[in-house]
Amino acid sequence: MAANRQTARAADLLSELVSIDSVNPDMPGGERGEREYGDFLAAYGRRLGLEVSQYEVLPGRFNTVLEMPASRAARRLVFDVHLDTVPFDGPVSTNKPVQRDGRLYGRGACDTKGAMAAMLLALERLIERPPDPGCQVVLLATVDEEYLKRGVDAAVERGLRADGAIVGEPTGLVPVIAHKGVARWEVVTRGRAAHTSKPENGVNAIYQMAAVIDRLVARHAVTPPELRHALCGDGTLTVSTIAGGVQVNVVPDECRVQIDRRVLPSEQAQTTWQAVTDDLDRLQAETPGMQLESLVPFLLEEGLDTDPTAAIVSAASAAGRGLGLADKPAGVPYGTDGSSLALGGIPAVVLGPGDIDQAHSPDEYVELDQVANCAALYEAIVREFAATGAAS
């Protein structure tokens, strides 16, 4: 019965969160942005008696911080979770939550409002029964994770400090200590326009790009086996978009592709981009008449590779074990705020309810029992983290 009550409470809170439109304003349909969601959290935190602050990261876009201070606190722990979602897509991925068969459907339910609900519920319980010894707990709700992660970067630049962080993302309640980074950039080929009745008078930029794509697939689609990461596997490269030509009867004088290179924790994003760019320069030198340019990346993000002996990892594993949940650290292929936190000197574990395969999908959902179990897990991690901090 207690478990049913906790699940019902999680469902009610998550429904409120999903009902708030928080599509990233750099994406279609994001006119309202994250502000309403951040204000909801600020009001929620004040009702709980937490210290609340908000600061502007981008015009009209604010990170929201809820802090549960503690006397005699040996450690400081950050709950990091992002406010923005991707655009609505499909009959149930809207801001109208639907409960069915133990699941809650709606945009953001999995990525990552399920984690946010669990964090808020954990904070409620920690306020009712504070950890002894104490632990400072900070909930950092960031903007822009789904685009350029400027929210978490701003927090780190402002001097965010903690002994460990839990990043709320859909991991099926498995503690994740390693994930890939990413380099994203554009490659342009340039030719010469002509009438298609006499294509020999032009230079077809799309044909040139075909050679570029062949080179990328042949040499860079997957990293060599010797670079494989124990938890994250191989680095990968995907040509994600292509655009070229202006009219069916005109030889195209320009073609553009965008590239997504998933970078292993053992690689560096800038170095990886440079290696691919250098190889494309060689292709250009080898190909008479080819004109190509590999543009400066619009996103360079390092991977995450948290020391498995870090205190936050030990606390997450011990808490999971104590609740009969997963306790063995894992790796994932996607990126999170965790890499920025780690670069800021904060060891991070990525952990939350839901399956990444549901994130961004037209039928996005999260299992409500997982949200309830995650709240208990987050609470247990704080208590474990506080106890080991006092003992060390």
Q: Which of the residues 80, 84, 254, 301 is marked catalytic?
A: 84
Whole-Å CA distances, 240 to 10, 258, 265: 37, 6, 22
Q: Which of the residues 21, 80, 144, 145 is marked catalytic?
A: 145
Whole-Å CA distances, 345 to 81, 163, 177, 180: 18, 9, 15, 18
DSSP track, 80-147: EEE--BPPP-SSSSSSS-EEETTEEESTTIIIIIHHHHHHHHHHHHHHHS--SS-EEEEEEEES-TTT
Distance CA 262, CA 272 (A): 9
Does residue 128 have an active-site annotation?
no
Distance CA 258, CA 240 (A): 6
For residue 96, the one-letter residue type is K
Q: Which of 176, 130, 172 is nearest to 371 (CA)?
A: 172
Do 139 and 119 touch, CB atoms closer than 8 A?
A: yes
Alpha helices in the chain, H assignment, sequence order = 2-18, 35-47, 114-128, 150-157, 205-220, 269-286, 311-322, 338-343, 368-391
Distance CA 231, CA 178 (A): 7
Report the first-to-last Cα separation within the chain, whole angstroms. 38
CA 317, 321, 326, 332: dihedral to nearest 10 degrees? 0
For residue 188, the one-letter residue type is V
For residue 40, the one-letter residue type is F
Q: CA geometry: angle at 155 spanning 150 and 160, to 5°?
A: 155
Question: What are the backbone dihedrals phi and psi of residue 379, each rounded to the nearest 5 degrees, phi first?
Answer: -60, -45
The DSSP code for 295 is: P
Does residue 145 have an active-site annotation?
yes
Catalytic residues: 84, 145
